Amino acid sequence: MVIIFLIDFSLILNKGSANVLTVSGFVGHVMTVECIFDPSLQDKKGALTSSGNLQKVLQESLSIARMVAFRYLPEDKIKEFADKNVHIHFLQGGTPKDGPSAGVSICSALLSLMLGKPIPHDISMTGELSLNGDVCKIGKNNYY
């Protein structure tokens, strides 16, 4: 008897990718954030660069997400990745992106990249991260 498993690899995002839940007016969207190690910045160590039409508040979320991600890494991984340059890209670059609520998705994408573990495609996240790694309430909702 032969058993064949068919695996749909589209069900798993690439390592370093995470889905973000966004709201624009009364319409919700799912957007993908991607992270890669960027060897092109030879003169910098540990740089964090970004692309995808990001506004100021979201730029701040990038650095907070990186700090929080490093808190969840084992000591050997921190030493391994501290000097690596990371580029973060938000797809759909023509759409301006602002607001802090992508922090948990950015942090998850960074951890996925650093630990080499992909996130399933059917999981999307939203939420602002505090410096202590807490996920903050979304707007005036009482949901976490």
Domain ranges of the chain: 16-125
pLDDT surpassing 50 at residue 8 = no
pLDDT higher than threshold 60 for residue 4: no
Give the span between the Cα atoms of 105 and 29, in whole angstroms.
14
What is the reported pTM?
0.82
pLDDT of res. 139: 62
- Going by C-alpha positions, the residue among 111, 51, 43 that lies closest to residue 87 is 51
The CATH number of the domain covering residues in 16-125: 3.30.230.10
The more confident residue out of 82 and 141 is 82
Q: What is the mean pLDDT of residues 113-142?
A: 83
Q: What is the mean pLDDT of residues 76-81?
A: 90
- Cβ of 115: how many Cβ atoms within 10 Å? 16
Q: What percent of the chain has pLDDT over 90?
A: 28
- What confidence score (pLDDT) does residue 54 get? 74
- Contact between 108 and 141 under an 8 Å Cβ cutoff? The reply is no
- pLDDT confidence tier of residue 107, bands split at 50, 70 and 90: very high
What does R_g of the chain's alpha carbons equal in angstroms?
A: 16
3-state secondary structure of 65: helix
